[in-house]
A and B are shown apart, each in its own frame.
Chain A
C-alpha cells in the first residue's frame, strides 16, 4: 500500500522538518581527552591593531592615530601586564572580555607569530598554516591538514570532526569525516522526511561507490549523530540555552562558537572543532571595521568561556590568522599584507596572562623585508606546545609536524 503520509508534499515536510529519530544512536563514547577548538581569522588579522606597544616610537611614526592603539583618550587601549618589558603593550579597546580571560590566567597571547615562508598571498599563507607545513613543496611529503594529522596521532582518525565553515577547512584536509555546518540553530534534518531518508539510505548506503555516495553516507551519519540531540521530544529544534548567562551575538564567530559549545555538550566522540571568522582583510577604511571585528571576537570568546565554564579543563582553543599586516599604513586608511601576527591561546594550566614569544621590535632593521613585523614564533611551535601541554598529547608534535624542530615559546 502506498501510504499517504509518504507522498505529502515536500514543501510541508521541509517546513515541519521531520526528525529522523529512528537513526538516533545512543551511547557512543565521548571524546577521550581534551577537545581542540581552532578559530581561523581569515583575511590577515592586523596583530598590530590587536596587541601593540603604544609607546613605541616606530609604531607611532608609521601609523596615523586612527590606525594604532592609543595610550590615552576616549579610545585608550587596554593595558596588559605580562608583556615584553620594552614597551607599554595594550589590547584593542573593544576587547575587554578577552582582557578578562587574559587576566584570569586562562588566556595567553603570542606575538610575532606566523609562518616561516615569506608569502604575502592569503591563500598560500592560509594553506601553509592550515596544512601545518613550512614550504609548499613539503605538501608532497606531509599530507592533509594539521588538525587531521593530530586526530590521527591521538587515535581519532575515524572519528568525526566538526567545522562551522561552508566547506571543509584545509586544516582538516584528508580527514575522512568532517561535519561542516555553519549554523545548527535550525537543526540538521534530512529534507523530505522519512520516505526521502529511506531512499537516501539505500541510494548511498552499503557498497555504493563514488564521491556522491560517500558524501551521502557521511552526511546521513552526521545527521544521525547531531540532529536528534538538537530536538525536543515533540521533534522541534529546541532553542539553545547557554549556561551561566552566556550570551552569543548573532555574528559569524558568535554563531560558530555557539554551535561548537552546543555540540561539545552533547559528549560525542568529536575531538576537533574548526571555526572560521572572515573579514580581516582591511586594506581600506580599517579603523571601524577592525574595531567591529575585534569586539565580535572578544565577546564571542567571552560567551564561549562562560558557557563552558564547567568543562573548561577539557577544552583548548587556539585562534590564528594567515599573517599580520604591514606596519606602515597605506593611503586608503588601511594596511596591506604583512607577516608576523598575534595568536590567542586559551587552555587550562598554561602560563596565561602573558604575551609570549620574542618581541622583535619595530625598528626598520628588525622588520621582515624592511616593512613587516618579523616572525619569531612559528605557528607550529605554538601548536606543538599546545599539543604537548594542555592537549596532553606529547607524542603528537613529531607526527603532526614531521621534520620540524619547534622552538620554545613558553606557554607550558
Chain B
C-alpha cells in the first residue's frame, strides 16, 4: 500500500481525517512518531483563541420585553460549574439553558476541525457516547455539560478508566441524567446502578439474570470472581451509591438545605449504611463516607467483563463494526495489564492502532456525520467559522451532539447511519458545506481546482484533494452527467469556474471512498 494511502487511512481512523499540513508532517516525522505524539497530547489544544472568538446566536421571545436576539460568546464554557449553575435556579427560559449545550457543541466542531490532537477529539466523541448524557432533553444536564465535557470526558479520554469512572459518577451531568442525586436509602433509585453495569462497565453480555436468580449461582461467585452480574447486584449497587449527590439546594432537614453550586457532595443521612454484597464481594455495614460506592467502582472497573466490553467498543469504533474476538481479547489483556496505569486508555488505543487488523481495515467504517463534516472541512480547507446554522444542520443529521436520549449513546453500526433520513442529511451536509450554506467559510482547495484547464482535470484535482487518488470511471461519469457537459470542456477562465469547483468537491465526497474511514 502506498505510504500516502496508509497515512490517510490511519489519520482517518485515528482522527477526523488529514489536512494537507498533517500529510506533510507525517511525511516528515513518520506515522509512528505521529501516533506516539497523539497518544500523549498536551492539555492545551491551541483552540482557545478560536473558541474565544465564537458566538452562538441566542434568539427567543422573552416573557417580558425586550426579546433576546444576541450573539452570545461561547467562551463562558471554560468557567467552573458553580458559575453556570445559577441558570438552573433562576428559572430562565429554555434557550438560556440550552445555550450551554450549543456552546459545547460549537466548541466541539471547532476542535474537530482545528485541534492538532485529533486522536483525543475522536476519543472524546467515543467517551461522550459511552458515558452518554442527554443535554437536549434536560436543561439541568445542559447547564452541567461544559464541566462534564472538560473535567470528566476530555480530562480522562486517554487516561485511566477507573479514575474516569469516578469522575463520571460524581459529575452533575450524570447525577442528574441517571437520577442518582435523588436516590435515598430505603428505596434506592436503580437507574444509575443498572446502567453502570450494563452500559458503562461489564456490559450486556455479562448480564446473567436470565440464567441465575441468586448471586451464589453465578459461575465463579463462590471464589469471589463472578463471571457476570444479576439484578441482585444492581439492587445492592444502587444502595451503595445512596448519598452520592450534588449541591442542588435539596432539603436536608427543617430549614436546612444543601448548598446550590452543582458540585458533588455526599450526604451521610441519605446513605443506606448496612452490609451489602456486590459481585460476590461483601461490604461490611457502616463504612466510611463514599466507601461503598468507591468499592463498587473498583469492582466493576477491574472486572474482566469490563475489559472485554469496553475494549470491544473501542475496537468497533477504531477498526470495524465487527472486530474479531482475537483482537478484542488481545486488547483486553493490554487494558487489564495497565488497569492501574495513569495512561491505561492510551496504551490500549496504541495496541489497537498497532494491530494487524487495524492495518487491514481500510474503509470498513461508515463515517458519522461529525466525522463526515470534519473530514471534509479538513481536506478542503474550509476555515470553519462555527455558526449556529451549521450546528442546526448537524443536529438534524442523526448525530445530535450531547442530545441522544437513551443512555446507550448513538449506535456504532453502519445501519443506523445509512437510513434514508440520514442519507439525505449526509448529502445536504456536503453540498451545503462546499457552498458555504451555513457560513462556515468557502473551501480554499476550490481555487486550485477552478484553475484546472478542463473539467476532467478539475475532477481529478478534486478527488486528489479529498482522497489522494484518481477518480474512478463511475465517478467521472456521474459528474459528467450531473453537469451535463463533456469532461474535455474548458474550465479555467469561465465565470462560474469557482462554483463548479466547489460542486466537484462535494460530488467527489459523495462517492463511497470518502464516505467511509
Interface residues in chain A, defined as those with a beta carbon under 8 Å from any beta carbon in chain B = 1-4, 6-7, 9-11, 14, 42-43, 117-124, 135-136, 166-168, 178-182, 188, 190-192, 195-196, 198-203, 208, 210-216, 218-219, 222-223, 278-279, 281, 283-285, 328-334, 336-337, 369
B210 touches A117 (CB 8 A): yes
| CB<8 Å pairs between A and B, sample of 27 | A7-B496, A7-B499, A7-B503, A10-B431, A10-B432, A11-B436, A120-B231, A135-B210, A178-B420, A181-B420, A191-B424, A192-B506, A202-B478, A202-B481, A203-B510, A211-B366, A211-B418, A223-B420, A283-B189, A283-B191, A284-B189, A330-B188, A331-B182, A331-B186, A331-B187, A337-B194, A369-B231
Contact of A2 among B190, B419, B484 (CB under 8 A): B484
- Alpha-carbon gap, A277 to B138, bound state (A): 17
User: How many Å lie between the Cα of A84 and that of B510 in the bound state?
Assistant: 59
* Segment of B5-13, B374-382, B406-414 in the binding face: B406-414
* Beyond A223-B424, A332-B182, A337-B194, 14 extra complex contacts between A and B, CB < 8 Å: A7-B496, A7-B500, A9-B437, A10-B431, A167-B422, A180-B421, A191-B427, A196-B507, A211-B366, A211-B418, A212-B516, A218-B423, A285-B182, A331-B189
Please provide the chain B residues from 453 to 482 with a CB less than 8 Å away from any CB of chain A in the complex: 474-475, 477-479, 481-482
Cα-based distance from A80 to B418 in the complex (angstroms)? 44
A336 near B183 (CB under 8 angstroms)?
A: no
Residues of B near A188 (CB, < 8 A) are 420-421, 424
Within B139-181, which residues are at the interface with A (CB < 8 Å)?
Answer: 178-179
Provide the residues of chain A in CB contact with B406, threshold 8 Å: 42-43, 122-123, 278, 281
Q: How far is the CB of B501 from chain A (nearest CB, A)?
A: 10
Residues 480-517 of B, flagged 1 when their CB comes within 8 A of A and 0 if not, give: 01111100010000101001100100110011100110
Give the most central of A1, A136, A190, A215: most B CB within 10 Å.
Answer: A215
Which B residues are in CB contact (< 8 Å) with A330?
A: 183, 187-190
Q: State A210–B474 Cα separation when bound (angstroms).
A: 14
| Closest partner residue, chain B, to A227 (CB atom) | B424
Q: Is B66 interfacial (CB 8 A cutoff)?
A: no
Partner of A182 from B182, B213, B421, B511 at Cβ < 8 Å? B421
Judge whether B248 is part of the interface by a CB distance below 8 angstroms: no
Complex Cα gap A192–B482 (Å) = 11
Task: Verify A181–B209 contact, CB threshold 8 A.
Answer: no
Give A369 to B209 CA distance when docked, in angstroms.
Answer: 11
- Which A residue's beta carbon lies closest to that of B482? A199
Q: Determine the chain A residues whose CB is within 8 A of the CB of B510 once the complex forms.
A: 199-200, 203
Q: With contacts A1-B485, A2-B500, A212-B512 known, is A334 near B189, CB below 8 A?
A: yes
Contact pick for A199, options B194, B198, B420, B507, CB 8 Å: B507
Report whether A219 and B477 are in contact in the complex, using a CB–CB cutoff of 8 Å.
no
Whether B479 pairs with A14 at a CB distance below 8 angstroms is: no
* Chain A neighbourhood of B437, CB < 8 A: 9-11, 14
Compute how far the CA of A158 lies from the CA of B500 in the bound complex, rounded to whole angstroms. Answer: 39
B382 to chain A, nearest CB (A): 14
Residue of A nearest to B188 (CB): A330
In the bound complex, residues from chain A placing their C-beta under 8 Å from that of B116 are none
**Which residue of A has the minimal Cβ distance to B475?**
A203
- Bound CA span A9–B190, Å: 53
Distance in angstroms from B320 CB to nearest chain A CB is 12
Complex CA–CA separation, A139 to B479 (angstroms): 43
A343 CB to nearest B CB, Å: 21
B420 contacts A213, C-beta separation under 8 Å: no
CA distance A9 to B437 in the complex (A): 8
A2 touching B207, Cβ below 8 Å: no
Once the chains are docked, how many angstroms separate the CA of A213 from the CA of B191? Answer: 41
* Across-interface contacts of A182 in B (CB, < 8 A): 421
A411 to B381, CA, bound (A): 63
Closest residue of B by beta carbon distance from A3: B484
Give A84 Cβ to nearest chain B Cβ, in Å.
28
- The reply on B435 being an interface residue by CB < 8 A is yes
B102 close to chain A: CB less than 8 A? no
CA distance A19 to B78 in the complex (A): 45
Once A2-B494, A121-B207, A212-B515 are accepted as A-B contacts, the answer to whether A195 and B483 lie under 8 Å apart by CB is: yes
* Docked complex Cα distance between A250 and B166 (Å): 40
> In whole angstroms, what is the CA distance A118 to B209 when docked?
7
Candidate in B186, B418, B515 with the most chain A CB atoms within 10 angstroms: B418
Is B40 located at the chain interface by the 8 A CB criterion? Answer: no
CB–CB B420/A179 < 8 A: yes
Residues from chain B with a CB closer than 8 A to the CB of A191 are: 424, 427-428, 431-432
Q: Is the CB of A118 within 8 A of B421?
A: no
Complex interface: chain B residues within 8 A of A283 (CB): 178-179, 189-191
With A190-B427, A330-B187 already in contact, the answer to whether A196 and B207 are too (CB < 8 A) is no
Contact of B496 among A2, A42, A210 (CB under 8 A): A2
Which of A119, A201, A329 is the one whose CB lies under 8 Å from B210?
A: A119
- B420 near A219 with CB under 8 A, answer yes
Contact B231 A331 (CB under 8 A): no
Q: Does B415 contact A (CB under 8 A)?
A: yes
| Interchain residue pairs A-B with the least CB separation, the first 7 | A199-B482, A202-B478, A215-B418, A332-B182, A180-B419, A11-B437, A331-B184
Residue of A nearest to B480 (CB): A202
Alpha-carbon gap, A169 to B511, bound state (A) = 27
In the complex, the answer to whether B210 meets A6 with C-beta atoms within 8 Å is no
Roughly how many angstroms separate A285 CA and B176 CA in the complex, as a whole number? 12
The reply on B204 being an interface residue by CB < 8 A is yes
> In the bound complex, do residue B398 and residue A196 qualify as a contact, i.e. CB atoms below 8 Å apart?
no
Q: How far is the CB of A165 from chain B (nearest CB, A)?
A: 8
Say whether A119 contacts B418, CB under 8 Å. no
Across the interface, which residues of A come within 8 angstroms of B435, CB to CB?
A: 9-11
In the bound complex, do residue A198 and residue B419 qualify as a contact, i.e. CB atoms below 8 Å apart? no
In the bound complex, how far is the Cα of B421 from the Cα of A41, in angstroms? 21
Q: Chain A residues near B507 (CB, 8 Å)?
A: 196, 199, 203
Cβ of B60 within 8 Å of any chain A Cβ, yes or no, is no
Contacts of B431 in A (CB 8 A): 10, 14, 191-192, 196
Choose among B191, B210, B432, B474 the residue that contacts A203 (Cβ–Cβ < 8 A): B474
- Chain A residues with Cβ below 8 Å from B213 are 369
- The residues of B that contact A122 with a CB separation of less than 8 Å are 406
- Are B483 and A167 in contact (CB-based, < 8 A)? no
Q: Let me know if B189 and A332 touch, CB within 8 A.
A: yes
Closest to A182 in B: B421
Q: Closest residue to A336 on the B side, CB-wise?
A: B190
The CA of A64 and the CA of B184, in the complex, are separated in Å by: 16
A121 to B191, CA, bound (A): 10
Cα-based distance from A331 to B267 in the complex (angstroms): 15
| B199: nearest chain-A partner, CB-CB | A123
A123 to B427, CA, bound (A): 31
Cβ–Cβ contact A329 & B187, under 8 A = yes
Instruction: Give complex CA distance A273, B411 in Å.
Output: 22
Chain A residue at smallest Cβ distance from B515: A212
With the chains together, A142 CA to B436 CA distance in Å?
48
A43 to B186: give the CA distance in the assembly, Å.
24
With A167-B398, A218-B420 as known contacts, state yes or no: A336 contacts B191, CB within 8 Å.
Answer: yes
Q: Is B434 an interface residue (CB 8 A)?
A: yes
Query: Of B182, B420, B427, B499, which is within 8 A of A200 by CB?
Result: B427
CB nearest neighbor in A for B367: A212
Q: Is the CB of A196 within 8 A of B427?
A: yes
Contacts of A42 in B (CB 8 A): 406
Provide the residues of chain A in CB contact with B231, threshold 8 Å. 120, 369
Within 8 Å of chain A (Cβ to Cβ): is B416?
Answer: yes
**A200 to B204, alpha carbons, bound, how many Å?**
39
B233 to A: closest C-beta gap in Å: 12
Contact A121 B474 (CB under 8 A): no
Q: Which residues of B contact A178 (CB under 8 A)?
A: 419-420
Shortest CB–CB separation between residue B438 and chain A, in angstroms? 8
B-chain residues with CB within 8 Å of residue A166 when the two chains form the complex: 398, 416, 419, 421-422
What B residues does A4 contact at CB under 8 A?
Answer: 496
Q: Which residues of the other chain, A, contact B209 by a CB distance below 8 angstroms?
A: 118-120
B512 contacts A210, C-beta separation under 8 Å: yes
B95 at the interface (CB under 8 A from A): no
CA gap between A208 and B511 in the complex, in Å: 10
B405 on the A face (CB < 8 A): yes
| Closest chain A residue to B479, Cβ basis | A199
